[in-house]
């Protein structure tokens, strides 16, 4: 049980964490994968190479240590991480493995400072955090298994359609192999997809946003083919090049805390690159519910060849009170409601419902940081700015 003495001790070690930085989490992951290589079947190893996962873990540990006596401040972060964990099918016993390697990492990197009292405090602190996640994730698993079309664990789905949306993005429509129905989802949520690529040493699990409205029968994800070489998207390239109609993948139920709110207010969807995928589900859902308020769709991409769903967005203008604007970074000429260059809210601020609209952002981190800064400067309250970041979580 976590005591006040434990709390005081953990908070006193924050300078130690800060001085160690991401070297702590890098050592932790190296240690864990050495002793428990089976966990490579869960973690995105590309994010290990790029440093994104160690950085995200370090920030999470530092935030927990700093707020260990006021955990209510971490509620949103806990829910976001718990949703992501359920898309990997994380189980309670895996928390014990992580906890063991975390304590051993601290012991190995700071043997002089890691006294028995510090070890006891951090063991209790980690135990409390693990219990929180195990409880929240258990509730999420149970909720999804109990509703119509729901299930627990990975479920086999067949690819029934594969469609090219642009130069880099392909959509995959998936239906359950068992012929049953599927759980509905909130527009903006994602699926955990697991495959074992030919020649790979381990399974690959990734999360992909659902890109159309729920229908109770099938799911559609839209995947960008990422990069080449050592840092290429192992999973995205495998899906694009190797997965075809009739092939099977394993799927976890929909998850995610980024979704369209049921509010009686204008909606503004702002995306860059493949960040437009959850926006398609939001648009389709607004069409289904005959949404009467203004909808603004703002999108940025490299060029017209990489502009996915352009025709679809134009088609829903017949149903929604929708205005759109697109920024092409590299194209040479612009058309109606188009701008050459990077997105600037300043270009369209006069047409935006800045005081009452609900804003949804999805795209690369630096893009969202810039757009959020612009929105705040224009008077949009932070509570009305919702965002989704693909990959390990970072605050925007």
User: By the 8 A CB rule, do 193 and 209 touch?
Assistant: no
DSSP output for 172-204: EEEEETT--------TT-EEEEEE--TT-SS-E
Structure tokens that stand for 257 in this block: 């805390």
Binding-site positions for heme b read 85
Cα–Cα distance for residue pair 29/89, rounded to 1 Å: 19
Beta-bridge partners for 295? 267, 322
Per the annotation, binding residues for NADP(+) are 273-278
Q: In what order do the strands lie in the sheet with 322-328?
A: 338-340, 322-328, 295-301, 267-272, 358-362, 385-388
Pairing, β 169-176 against β 219-224: antiparallel
User: 137, 204, 358, 388: which is the annotated catalytic residue?
Assistant: 137
Supply φ then ψ for residue 157, to 5 degrees. Answer: -125, 150
DSSP one-letter string for 73-120 = GGHHHHHHHHHHHHHTT--HHHHHHHHHHHHHHHHHH-TTT--HHHHH
Q: 273 vs 71, 305, 344, 390, CA distance in Å?
A: 35, 11, 15, 11
Question: Rounded to an integer, what distance in angstroms lies between the CA atom of residue 253 and that of residue 269?
Answer: 25
Token match 């092409």: residue?
A: 328
Provide the annotated binding site for FAD. 190, 206-209, 389-392
Helices 75-87 and 52-66 cross at an angle (nearest 10°) of: 140
Report the distance separating Cα 304 and Cα 340, nearest Å: 11
Where is the binding site, in residues?
A: 85, 190, 206-209, 273-278, 389-392
Residue 126 is a catalytic residue: no
Phi, psi of 116 (to 5 degrees): -55, -35
CA angle 187, 193, 195 (to 5 degrees): 165
How far is it, in rounded angstroms, from Cα 321 to Cα 291?
Answer: 8
The answer to whether residues 266 and 293 touch, using CB atoms and an 8 Å cutoff, is: yes
Is 95 annotated as catalytic? yes
Looking at 29, 95, 328, 387, which residue is catalytic?
A: 95
Q: Which residues carry out catalysis? A: 95, 137
């Amino acid at each position: 049980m976590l005591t006040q003495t434990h709390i005081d001790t953990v908070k006193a070690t924050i300078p130690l964490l800060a001085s160690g930085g991401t070297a702590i989490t890098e050592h932790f992951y190296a240690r864990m994968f050495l002793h428990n290589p089976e966990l490579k079947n869960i973690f995105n190893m590309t994010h290990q190479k790029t440093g994104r996962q160690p950085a995200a873990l370090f920030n999470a540990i530092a935030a927990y240590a700093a707020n260990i006596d006021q955990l209510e401040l971490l509620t949103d972060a806990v829910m976001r991480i718990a949703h992501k964990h359920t898309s990997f099918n994380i189980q309670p016993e895996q928390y014990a493995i992580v906890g063991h390697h975390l304590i051993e990492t601290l012991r190995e990197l700071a043997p002089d400072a890691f006294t028995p009292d510090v070890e006891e405090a951090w063991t209790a602190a980690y135990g409390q955090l693990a219990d929180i996640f195990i409880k929240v994730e258990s509730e999420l698993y149970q909720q999804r298994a109990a509703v119509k079309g729901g299930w627990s664990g990975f479920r086999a789905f067949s690819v029934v359609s594969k469609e090219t949306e642009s130069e880099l993005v392909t959509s995959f429509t998936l239906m359950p192999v068992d012929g049953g129905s599927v759980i509905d989802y909130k527009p903006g949520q994602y699926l955990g997809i697991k495959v074992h690529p030919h020649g790979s040493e381990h399974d690959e699990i990734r999360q992909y946003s659902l890109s159309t409205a729920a229908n109770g029968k099938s799911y559609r994800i839209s995947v960008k083919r990422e990069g080449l070489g050592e840092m290429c998207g192992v999973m995205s390239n495998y899906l694009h090049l190797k997965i075809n109609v009739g092939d099977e993948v394993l799927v976890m139920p929909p998850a995610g805390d980024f979704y369209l709110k049921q509010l009686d207010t204008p909606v503004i969807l702002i995306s860059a690159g493949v960040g437009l995928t959850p926006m398609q589900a939001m648009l389709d859902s607004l069409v289904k519910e005959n949404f009467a308020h203004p909808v603004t769709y703002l999108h940025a991409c490299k060029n017209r060849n990489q502009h996915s769903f352009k025709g679809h967005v134009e088609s829903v203008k017949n149903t929604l009170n929708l205005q759109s604007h697109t920024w092409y970074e590299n194209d040479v000429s612009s058309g109606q409601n188009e701008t050459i260059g990077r997105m600037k809210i300043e270009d369209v601020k006069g047409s935006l419902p800045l005081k009452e609209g609900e804003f949804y952002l999805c795209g690369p981190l630096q893009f969202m940081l810039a757009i959020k800064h612009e929105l705040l400067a224009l008077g949009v309250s932070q509570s009305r700015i919702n965002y989704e970041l693909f990959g390990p979580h970072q605050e925007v």
